[in-house]
């Protein structure tokens, strides 16, 4: 079994970390650089930064923030939000990001996945998939979860892999922020059919939920936000628990 990863996610708005439920009702969760430093020291395997209200005006702020974080932590981190070109990716990587995450821009222009993978290598291209159950079907949503599309989630996951994505960040909008557990059935379907790692996101509320998503959901990594930000589950305790349960994890 490959080593499973624990990944805190920092949703960034105006340079601060925020957290909501089902993608709305945002509240402040602290200073992004300070949180990143704490998580790195606590043993997080990676970090994900998502500028959830990314705009052209906010790009400079995000670059400065990425640069600060890169000089603070010693673990890989992925940055997403408003990325739509080779130049955007180049700027983020030059400021210390290890990987970048694209979502809306990949849906709008699937060729971008291929272009970025060829330019920078698949290993640093993550495609984020925000999905919600609509009339019995898992449907892709863009623009921070606000816009439903005609894309069916499972077929889109296969397409992004075929186009060169190195990793999928799968977020169930139905479970996001609920703390009722990850979307195990959907995660399992995508993970078992993918030849690239799948990061499960949305719904973590207990240590058992991580165990479930690794064993029943076949995920390669578990991502969460509020349970880490508000110190409900310390990362060292989570990792010890998973290790004791037989999950291969870096302690």
The catalytic residues are: 11, 130
Strands (E), 24-158: 24-31, 47-51, 77-80, 99-102, 125-134, 137-142, 147-152
Spatial distance between the Cα atoms of 19 and 52, rounded to a whole number of angstroms: 10
Spatial distance between the Cα atoms of 47 and 37, rounded to a whole number of angstroms: 10
Measured in degrees and rounded to the nearest 5, phi and psi for residue 7 equal -130, 110
Residue 109 burial class via C-beta count within 10 angstroms: exposed 0-12, middle 13-18, buried 19 and up:
middle
Half-sphere exposure of 146 (CA within 13 A, CB side): 5
């Amino acid at each position: 079994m490959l080593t499973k990863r624990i990944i805190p996610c920092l949703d960034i708005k105006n340079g601060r970390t925020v957290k909501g439920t089902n993608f709305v009702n945002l509240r402040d969760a602290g200073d992004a650089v300070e949180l990143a430093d704490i998580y790195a020291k606590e043993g997080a395997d990676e970090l994900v930064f998502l500028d959830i209200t990314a705009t052209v005006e906010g790009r400079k702020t995000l670059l400065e923030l990425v640069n600060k974080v890169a000089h603070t932590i010693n673990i890989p981190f992925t940055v997403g939000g408003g990325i739509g070109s080779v130049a955007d990716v180049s700027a983020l990587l030059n400021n210390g990001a290890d990987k970048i995450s694209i979502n809306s821009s990949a849906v709008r222009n699937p060729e971008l996945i291929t272009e970025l993978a060829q330019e920078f290598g698949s290993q640093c291209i993550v495609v984020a998939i925000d999905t919600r159950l609509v009339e019995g079907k898992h449907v892709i949503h863009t623009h921070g979860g606000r816009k439903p599309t005609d894309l069916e989630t499972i077929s889109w996951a296969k397409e992004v892999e075929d186009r060169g994505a190195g990793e999928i960040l799968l977020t169930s909008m139905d479970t996001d922020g609920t703390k009722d557990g990850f979307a195990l059935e959907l995660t399992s379907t995508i993970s078992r059919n993918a030849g690239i790692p799948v990061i499960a996101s949305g719904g973590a509320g207990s240590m058992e939920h991580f165990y479930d998503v690794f064993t029943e959901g076949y995920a390669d990594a578990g991502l969460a936000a509020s349970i880490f930000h508000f110190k409900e589950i310390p990362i060292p305790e989570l990792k010890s628990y998973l290790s004791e349960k037989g999950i291969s994890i870096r302690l």
